[in-house]
Amino acid sequence: MTTKTETAAPARFEDLQPLMALMTGDEKHDVAATSTLDALWVLYDRVLRVTPDTAEEQDRDRFLLSKGHGPMAYYAVLAAKGFIDPAVLPSFGGYDSPLGYHPDRTLLPGVEISSGSLGHGLPLAVGTALGLRAQGLTDPAVWVLLGDAEFDEGSNHEAMAFAGAYGLDRLHAVVIDNSSATHGWQGGIAQRFAAEGWSTATVDGRDHEALHRAYTTAHPGRPHVVVARVEPKYS
Amino acid sequence: MDTMRERFVDVTTRLLDEDPRLAVVLADITAAAFEPARERHPDRVVNVGIREQLLIGAAGGLALSGMRPIAHTFASFLVERPFEQLKLSLVHQGVGAVLVSAGGSYDNPAAGRTHMSPGDVALLDTLPDWTVHVPGHPEEAEQLLRHAVADGDRNVYVRLSNHQNAAPVPVEPGRFATVRTGSRGVVLAVGPMLDAVLAATEGLDVTVLYAATVRPFDTAGLRAALGERTDVVLVEPYLEGTSANEAHAALADHPHRVLALGVPRGEHRHYGSMAEHLAAYGLDAASLKERIATFLW
């Protein structure tokens, strides 16, 4: 499957599970439950203005996967959208594979950051948004995805407070909340962002229409966070 | 004479006018001095507050977006506190920034251990491909800062200090300069240590090399300076032994000796002045003379 051929049908959400199975060797289990799958799909399918052909353009939208672990859903979406060749998916985790258990931006086209250690993506996204603003590029959006347990890392709080105070309105965060933070977030994650001046939405992370509405909500003058709640990791 | 840190503000303010790719990220330290630059370039002079993980993360993001970032604060908060950000938000992303520190190892000992960063260069040695400049005079600081900003997208550390030499040395970035020649070995003085080394070696038959750039280490320069005696004394204004591995590697094919002098590793629980600390570390001219002479004679 070469997704860039003109006759190929557009990829569908249903195409992701077989792509993920190429990495896991597992046709039935776990893959559909991946917490980030729906949020990533809706972003790449309907929101982000970036394609394999524009992945190096300076005015592209940027998506930064901060929560770098469990990247199969990300790789599957990138394969479905033509950024990476599905033929490499079975090499996942291999010595010469470009697909590690955490992504490396220098090995994969379309991957904006190398991640794995938690708490680096939001500060990098802040800097990217600052850099685009400084270059007069007020149109491209910067998106960063993190997890509710990743939110434990203090570096996120440095970046969240600054971005809100600074009014970095081209910055967008998606927090996948599968209730995996050891001590939880009493009162919810969104209120932390709201207290720092962010626009917020909390939605069902499996509801594609709700995700799309939350992603495309106007938020003039403020950064925007979408908290996507999914089934608990530990139940 | 101005300080290196004052020169940094002046030079960077001018460079911001000239180079639209340049951006400066601050974490409150020196922010007041950069206020005129921020007023002229509000999108390229950004003070993130007392948030050093964000300081480096934002520098990484700026570099990812195509800018040439300078990040600045005291050495202890620029290198030690956000060290993983240096490793991952810069190096692992494959992007570069210019880190400009102030305070060094002992500039303000009355502030205590929290404001001393003798381990900064040694920490950077655990990462690949850093250039490290340790100027000894504001003139050198200006030259090396300009070089660092224009040095492609490399990661460059510029270590500024209130400890400085009376006069600048004409330096070529990356090359050791020969200040004095002799036959009984080489003393390599790094940055602000030069004046004390010159005083300590007055009348001694030794070659004095001067390094305002320590990484990459000028292996060829060191080898060329050695005669039959392959004895080397390193005098560094940060953790003792930081460049010992480099010196040994440079001379791996010769029987040789290396004496590495610098700031001792132990906690030194005294306040006081820079001069008192240099004496306590054995880095004042009198102590250096005794240690160098004992080693070489």
Q: In terms of C-beta density within 10 A (0-12 exposed, 13-18 middle, 19 or more buried), how is residue B100 classed?
A: buried
Two tokens, residue B41: 């370039």
Which range marks the domain in which residue B25 is found? 4-159
Two tokens, residue B123: 């920490």
| Span B197-221, pLDDT tens digits | 999 999 999 999 999 999 999 999 9
Of B100, B129, B159, which marks where a domain is finished? B159
Are B119 and B12 in a shared domain?
yes
Which pLDDT does position B130 carry in this prediction?
A: 98
| B167 within a domain of the structure (yes/no) | no
Could you report how far apart the first and last alpha carbons of chain A are, in Å?
38
Which pLDDT does position A31 carry in this prediction?
A: 57
Superfamily of domain A35-68+104-229 in the CATH hierarchy: Thiamin diphosphate (ThDP)-binding fold, Pyr/PP domains (3.40.50.970)
AA letter at B61: G
Residue A28 has pLDDT above 70, yes or no: no
Residue percentage of chain A with pLDDT more than 90: 88
Query: Mind telling me how many Å the CA of A155 is from chain B's nearest CA?
Result: 6
Which pLDDT does position B53 carry in this prediction?
A: 98
Scan residues 58-77 of A and list those with Cβ closer than 8 Å to B: 58
| B58 within a domain of the structure (yes/no) | yes
Of B131, B159, B187, which marks where a domain is finished? B159
CB contact under 8 A, B43 and A133: yes
Are B58 and B205 in a shared domain?
no
Which pLDDT does position A235 carry in this prediction?
A: 65
Which pLDDT does position A27 carry in this prediction?
A: 55
> B287 at the A interface (CB within 8 A)?
no
CB contact under 8 A, A127 and B93: no
Residue A7 has pLDDT above 70, yes or no: no
How many domains does chain B fold into? 2
Are B11 and B131 in a shared domain?
yes
Residues in chain A: 235
Q: In terms of C-beta density within 10 A (0-12 exposed, 13-18 middle, 19 or more buried), how is residue A26 classed?
A: exposed
Are B19 and B152 in a shared domain?
yes
CB contact under 8 A, B66 and A158: no
| B164 within a domain of the structure (yes/no) | no
Are B205 and B120 in a shared domain?
no
| Span A181-198, pLDDT tens digits | 999 999 999 999 999 999
Which pLDDT does position A70 carry in this prediction?
A: 83
Two tokens, residue A116: 């794995």
What 3 state SS string does chain B have? Answer: CCCHHHHHHHHHHHHHHHCCCEEEEECCCCCCCCHHHHHHCCCCEEECCCCHHHHHHHHHHHHHCCCEEEEEEEHHHHHHCCHHHHHHHHHHCCCCCEEEEECCCCCCHHHCHHHCCCCHHHHHCCCCCEEEECCCCHHHHHHHHHHHHCCCCCEEEEECCCCCCCCCCCCCCCCCEEEECCCCCEEEEEHHHHHHHHHHCCCCCCEEEEECEEECCCHHHHHHHCCCCCEEEEEEEEECCCCHHHHHHHCCCCCCEEEEEEECCCCCCCCCCHHHHHHHCCCCHHHHHHHHHHHHC
| Span B78-125, pLDDT tens digits | 999 999 999 999 999 999 999 999 999 999 999 999 999 999 999 999
Query: Mind telling me how many Å the CA of B84 is from chain A's nearest CA?
Result: 9
Are B150 and B31 in a shared domain?
yes
Chain A residue with CA closest to B67: the answer is A131
**pTM for the full model?**
0.96
Type and span of the H or E element at A158: helix A154-166
Per-residue pLDDT band for A234 (boundaries 50, 70, 90) equals confident
Q: What is the CATH number of the domain that holds B22?
A: 3.40.50.970
Residue A1 has pLDDT above 50, yes or no: no
Average of per-residue pLDDT across A61-88: 95
Q: Chain A partners of B53 at a C-beta cutoff of 8 Å?
A: 119, 123, 154-155, 158
Could you report how far apart the first and last alpha carbons of chain B are, in Å?
38
Measured from the Cβ of residue A106, the count of other Cβ atoms closer than 10 Å reads 11
Per-residue pLDDT band for A200 (boundaries 50, 70, 90) equals very high
| B68 within a domain of the structure (yes/no) | yes
Residue A126 has pLDDT above 50, yes or no: yes
Per-residue pLDDT band for A2 (boundaries 50, 70, 90) equals very low
With a cut of 70, list the residues of chain B below it in pLDDT. Answer: none
| B107 within a domain of the structure (yes/no) | yes
Are B152 and B214 in a shared domain?
no
CB contact under 8 A, A123 and B88: no
Q: What is the CATH number of the domain that holds B246?
A: 3.40.50.920
